[in-house]
Amino acid sequence: MSTPTMIEQTVDVGGKTIFYAETGAGPAVLLLHGGGPGASGVSNFSRNIAELAKSFRVIVPDLPGYGRSSKGVDQNDPFGYLADSIRGLLDRLDIRKAHLVGNSYGGACALRLALDTPDRVDRMVLMGPGGIGTTRALPTTGLQHLLAYYGGAGPSREKLETFIREDLVFDGSAVPAEVIDTRYQSSIDPEVIANPPLRRPSGLRTLWRMDFTRDSRLAELATPTLVIWGSADKVNRPSGGKMLADIMPNCDLLLAANAGHWVQWERADYFNQVTHTFLTV
């Protein structure tokens, strides 16, 4: 089977530009990337898009603040801002209901979108999502490094390489140097440096709002959800998976061996298979 052609587009959502790539045909699946420095949709899901496009209409946006989308995120309610933007993208594409697949920051975006408008989400796959139990323990070392990237002496390739090889993945030697080079160049966009999209919460109210385990709606969210968490995740604690499974009524949980925070890249064949199966049940 030949690889479907990928188209690239930008659309206006509430006066902001959202970039997305699209390929394949079938039920709509949005792939929502993580929030690390220099992240973007297509690069984060490079090992998944073609396989999922065999069965689905795969839409891969750059989240606000990243890639080719407009920079700037509302720091008073980051997850809500991301969710509103992606819902706006669905509206512009005339998609009433879609599957959401989200990693880390993108997982938090997906979960918030489902909580706010559950009728817009068919099924969800969340990989090490952000915002799970974050007010119940101190930040992990990986998350502290992530949040500190633009602080101190500012961004550097060395700082990014250390984060990716030591905090992001289980086997740092498996990440090609060109992946780090590409992400570094994206991370030093002057607009991003001036307004980093991922920051420490701006106050106690924001901190509380960004912990989904404090949201009473979570226990009522009936969206069928598959949570996949790397057993060696150093950014978001794997214990977050059990929290979600205990609270959400229709939540399945998989703990992926030999994987850190980037399961869809580190265990791509496994991820593609279980995601395809879950979305077609």
- Residues with catalytic function: 261
Spatial distance between the Cα atoms of 170 and 260, rounded to a whole number of angstroms: 5
Written as one letter, the residue type at 174 is A
The answer to whether residues 131 and 108 touch, using CB atoms and an 8 Å cutoff, is yes
> What number of other Cβ atoms are within 10 A of residue 254's Cβ?
16
Alpha helices in 93-233 (DSSP H): 105-116, 141-147, 157-162, 177-187, 190-194, 204-209
Using only C-alpha atoms, what is the Rg of the chain? Answer: 17
Alpha helices in 26-169 (DSSP H): 41-44, 49-52, 78-92, 105-116, 141-147, 157-162
Identify the DSSP state of 280.
T
The answer to whether residues 59 and 28 touch, using CB atoms and an 8 Å cutoff, is yes
Residues 6+ away with beta carbon under 8 Å from 203: none
Distance of CA 104 to the CA centre of its chain: 4
Dihedral sign for Cα 182, 160, 176, 3, please.
negative
Residues 6+ away with beta carbon under 8 Å from 257: 231
The answer to whether residues 117 and 99 touch, using CB atoms and an 8 Å cutoff, is no
Spatial distance between the Cα atoms of 269 and 134, rounded to a whole number of angstroms: 30
